[in-house]
């Protein structure tokens, strides 16, 4: 999973790739729970580039995309938002996979 370094990097990724943006933070216990399953999820969806966005480093990006709870996911395809799984609730591996399958269809 690629870690976002700049807002410009995100803009470029959205424009040029199909991405799954994961909004997270080091202090978030629900984010830590899903962390071990993320490599498996990434392997299951090779047509997407997965990008980790640290909520604390990129609060303005969170505001731009109305992400106020973490962990949250937004899918981008062909330069546009294709779907979102955004809430403050804990997410399971199965819920994340179902979300990505829904935007992949």
The pairing of beta strand 2-3 with beta strand 49-54: parallel
Q: Which one from 4, 10, 21, 28 is the annotated catalytic residue?
A: 28
CB 49 within 8 Å of CB 17? yes
Residue 62 among the catalytic residues = no
Which helix or strand (DSSP H or E) is residue 73 part of?
Answer: strand 72-77
Catalytic residue among 31, 34, 67, 75: 31
> How deeply is 96 buried, as exposed, middle or buried, from its count of CB atoms within 10 A (0-12, 13-18, 19+)?
buried
Active site residues: 28, 31
């Amino acid at each position: 999973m690629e870690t976002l370094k700049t807002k410009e990097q995100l803009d470029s990724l959205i424009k040029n790739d199909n991405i799954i943006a994961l909004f997270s933070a080091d202090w978030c216990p629900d984010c830590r729970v899903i962390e071990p399953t993320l490599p498996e999820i990434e392997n299951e969806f090779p047509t997407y580039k997965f990008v980790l966005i640290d909520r604390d480093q990129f609060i303005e990006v969170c505001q731009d995309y109305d992400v106020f709870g973490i962990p949250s996911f937004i899918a981008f395809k062909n330069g546009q938002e294709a779907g979102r799984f955004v809430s403050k609730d804990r997410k399971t591996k199965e819920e994340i996979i179902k979300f990505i399958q829904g935007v992949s269809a």
